[in-house]
Amino acid sequence: MYAQMVKSTGQGVKDPSEMTDQERAFQERIDRGDRIEPKDWMPEHYRKTLIRQIGQHAHSEIVGQLPEGNWITRAPTLERKAILLAKVQDEAGHGLYLYCAAETLGVSRDQLTEDLLSGKMKYSSIFNYPTLNWADMGAVGWLVDGAAIMNQVPLQRTSYGPYARAMVRICKEESFHQRQGYDIMMKMAKGTPAQKNMAQDALNRTWFPALMMFGPSDAESVHSAQSMAWKIKMNSNDELRQKFVNETVPQAEFLGLTVPDPDCKWNEEKGGYDFSEPDWSEFFDVIKGNGPCNTERLAARNKAWDDGKWVRDGLMAHAEKKEARRVAAE
C-alpha cells in the first residue's frame, strides 16, 4: 500500500494483564471506537509506528507526482493536460495534509523529508515503476489510485484523529482520480489498434506491481497484529488484495483487456477470483532500492530539494527581515 510493511516497534500485542493501567485504558478507548487526539496520552510505540506509517504514506504522495508528471508535457489534448495537472496537484496536497498529520505526533516535515531523501524512510514500491505510454496515465489512475482507495477507505475509521480526518479528504479525491483513470483506459481500449496496444501494454506492466502495493501476506505478522489492535491497520493485506482483484477483473473485461495472469479465474465456491501471487522476490528487490526507477525517483527528489535550498533560505530570510522591520517600527 502507500504504507507497506510498516513495522510496529513493539513485540506484538500485549495481553491486558501485562499492560500498565495507562496502556489498558488506552486500548479500551480504541476498542470502544474513541478517537485518539494529539494531546491525549499514547504509548510510545503507537506514536512511533504512526509516524512511520503516515510519513511513508506522505512520501508516497510526493514521489507519486513523478511518474505522472512524466506525461504532463506530453498530454494529448488540453483537457487531458488540465486533468492530469489537477490530479498531480491533488497528490501534492495529499502529501501536505499527511505531513501535517504526522507533525501532530511531534516530528517536523523537514525531518521526514530528510529521511526520505537519505533513503532511511520508504515510499510505496509502485512509484518505482516507469510510465512508458499515455495509457499508463489511465492504468495508474484506475489501478494505483484504485488500490490506494481499498486501503484508505477503511482508514477513515482509524484510531488516530488527524490521520482519519486526512483520509476523509483524501479518499474523495482518490475516487475521482480512479474514475478519470478508467476514463482514459476506456478511450484507449476503444480507440485505434495502436491505442488498444498501449492500453494492454500498460495493464500488462501495472497489474502485478499494483497487487504488490498491498504488501506480502501478513497473516502471521506480529507487527500487523499490533497495528490492527491499535486500529491503524484495518484489514489484512490478503483480504484487501482479494477485494481489489474481485473489483478490478470485471472492469478489465468491460474494457476488453486481458489481465496478464492466465490463472486468474472466478471461483464460485469462495465467491471471488483465484489469481497468481506477484513475484515477491521482485517486490523485495524494489523495496531494497533495485526497482526500475528507484535511482531516478530519489535523485529527482534530492535535486528538487537541493536546488530549492536557496529559494527556501531566501524566503525565510525575507520573512525574518520583514519581522525585524516591523518590530523596529513599533
Partner 1 sequence: MQQDALFEYLLRLGDNTLVLGHRVSEWCGHAPALEEDIALANVALDLIGQTQLWLGLAGEVEGTGRSADYLAMLRDVWDFRNVLLVEQPNGDFGQTIMRQFLFDLWHVLVLDALQASSNTQVAEIAEKALKEARYHLERSSDTVIGLGDGTVESHDRMQAALDLLWPYIGEFFEPDAIDLAAQENGVGPDLSRLEAAYREQLDRVLKQACLTAPTDFFAHKGGKTGFRHSEHLGHLLTQMQWLQRAYPGASW
How many angstroms separate the CA atoms of 121 and 113, rounded? 9
In angstroms, rounded to a whole number, what is the distance separating the alpha carbons of residues 2 and 174? 13
| Binds Fe ion (CB under 5 A): choice among 68, 115, 136, 174 | 174
Residues that bind partner 1 (rule: CB under 8 A) add up to a total of 48
Please state, as a whole number, how many other Cβ atoms lie within 10 Å of the Cβ of residue 84.
21
Binding test (CB under 5 A) with Fe ion, winner from 68, 91, 115, 136? 91
* Alpha carbon distance, N-terminus to C-terminus of the chain: 53
Q: Is 115 in the site for Fe ion (CB under 5 A)?
A: no
Q: Do β-strands 265-267 and 272-274 pair in parallel, antiparallel, or remain unpaired?
A: antiparallel
Looking only at residues 44 through 73 of this chain, which bind partner 1 when binding is defined by CB under 8 A? 62, 65-66, 69, 72-73
177 binds, among partner 1, Fe ion, none (CB under 5 to 8 A by kind): Fe ion
Q: Which is nearer to partner 1, 13 or 300 (CB)?
A: 300
Nearer to Fe ion, 145 or 218 (CB): 145
- Looking at the Cβ atoms of 93 and 260, the one nearer to partner 1 is 93
- Single out the residue of 151, 144, 152, 148 nearest to residue 203, CA to CA: 144
Query: From the list 22, 89, 118, 290, which residue makes contact with partner 1 (rule: CB under 8 A)?
Result: 89
Name which of 16 and 314 has its Cβ closer to partner 1: 314
> How far is it, in rounded angstroms, from Cα 67 to Cα 216?
23
Cell triple for 211: 497487487
- Choose the binding region for Fe ion from 3-11, 168-176, 214-222, 226-234 (rule: CB under 5 A): 168-176
In sequence order, what E strands does the chain have? 265-267, 272-274
Q: Closest approach of Cβ 76 to partner 1, in Å? A: 4
Distance CA 5, CA 284 (A): 11
Indicate whether 94 belongs to the interface with Fe ion (CB under 5 A): yes
Residue 308's binding partner out of partner 1, Fe ion, none, with CB under 5 to 8 Å set by partner kind = partner 1
| Residue 236 beta carbon to partner 1: minimum distance, rounded to whole angstroms | 32
Shortest Cβ 51–partner 1 spacing (Å)? 18
Out of 25, 82, 299, 324, the residue judged to bind partner 1 by CB under 8 A: 82
- The string of DSSP codes covering 78-141 is HHHHHHHHHHHHHHHHHHHHHHHHHHTTT--HHHHHHHHHTTSS---GGGGS---STHHHHHII
Least separation in angstroms between residue 330's CB and partner 1 is: 20
The strand ranges marked E within 205-296 are: 265-267, 272-274
Environment class of 238 (CB within 10 Å of its CB; exposed 0-12, middle 13-18, buried 19+): middle
Site string for partner 1, 163-192 (x = CB under 8 A): ------------------------x---xx
User: Which residues are at the interface with Fe ion (CB under 5 A)?
Assistant: 61, 91, 94, 145, 174, 177
User: Which residues are at the interface with partner 1 (CB under 8 A)?
Assistant: 62, 65-66, 69, 72-82, 85-86, 88-89, 92-93, 95-96, 99, 134, 187, 191-192, 194-195, 300, 303-305, 307-319, 321
